Amino acid sequence: MTHPGPADAAGDGGTRVLGVDTSLRSTGVGVVEARGSRLRVIEFAVLRMPAKATLSECLLSLHQRVGEIIDRSAPVAVAIEGIFFCRNMKTALTLGEARGAVIATCASRRLPVYEYAPRRIKQAVVGFGGAEKDQVGRMVSAILGLSEAPPEDAADALAAALCHLNSASRHALLAPEPI
């Protein structure tokens, strides 16, 4: 389910960034718009995949659903959470495949994708790289004026978008090099 922000999604000159917290079964997405120093949520969601869906069905669904969000919200860049250390090789491979589907979707729409380490995202939003998920959710809510914390995966995605907006020059979006 997609949750719209406090204002409509019509383009009005702001800089929009799509944040993505990728996984195969539960991908968080969130679009944040910056106009000067004002920030607002355009939309956020957790893209859930059925437990019985095959890998290829999940990847296709991620591709389609992220593409729909891009088409609807018109971001100028995408901030994606980087891969953290995985002890399980199968989990790491599956996460890489899901990230690949999302990155390819963005590339097909000519959107630059910027990767941020999970600790850097937490540092940008909470002020501490080792922050807990509930702290991230509360700070995302406070920064964006939400009445309650979004679901964890959506909060992480919104945090990635905020990290990019905080890291980038508002004029050229020149944070790190896109991946």
C-alpha to C-alpha distances, 67 to 7, 78, 84, 144, nearest whole angstrom: 21, 12, 25, 24
Catalytic residues: 21, 81, 153
Q: What is the DSSP string of the chain?
A: -EEE-SS-----S-EEEEEEE--SSEEEEEEEEEETTEEEEEEEEEEE--TT--HHHHHHHHHHHHHHHHHHH--SEEEEEPPPP-S-HHHHHHHHHHHHHHHHHHHHTT--EEEE-HHHHHHHHHS-TT--HHHHHHHHHHHHT-SSPPPHHHHHHHHHHHHHHHHS-TTT--SSPP-
